[in-house]
Amino acid sequence: MSAAAIHKLSTSDWAVLAALLEQPAHGFRIAALFAPNGELGDIWRIQRTQVYRALAHLEAAG
C-alpha cells in the first residue's frame, strides 16, 4: 500500500484493517465483530455495508 493510499483511509477502513490484522476473516465475520452485540460493538459500530465498502477500498489500495 502506497503512502498516498494510507492517507486516504477512512476510520472505518482502519478499523476493518485492524480486525484483519488480528486474524484473517471474511466480511460477514468482521461485520459481526462491529455489530451492536459483537465483541467490538460497544466500542465501535460499523454497519455491514460499510465493512464491505472498506474491504473493497482496502483491496483497491493494495
Instruction: Express each pLDDT in 1-60 by its tens digit.
Output: 655 555 688 999 999 999 999 999 999 999 999 999 999 999 999 999 999 999 999 998
Instruction: Kindly report the pTM of this predicted structure.
Output: 0.83
pLDDT band at 61 (very low <50, low <70, confident <90, very high): confident
CB neighbours of residue 26 within 10 Å: 8
Q: What are phi and psi of 42, to 5 degrees?
A: -75, -25
Cell of 53: 465498502
Residue 62 is predicted with a pLDDT of 82
What are the Cα distances from residue 49, in Å, to 1, 2, 34, 52, 53?
23, 25, 12, 5, 6
The rounded distance, in Å, linking the Cα atoms of 19 and 3 is: 21
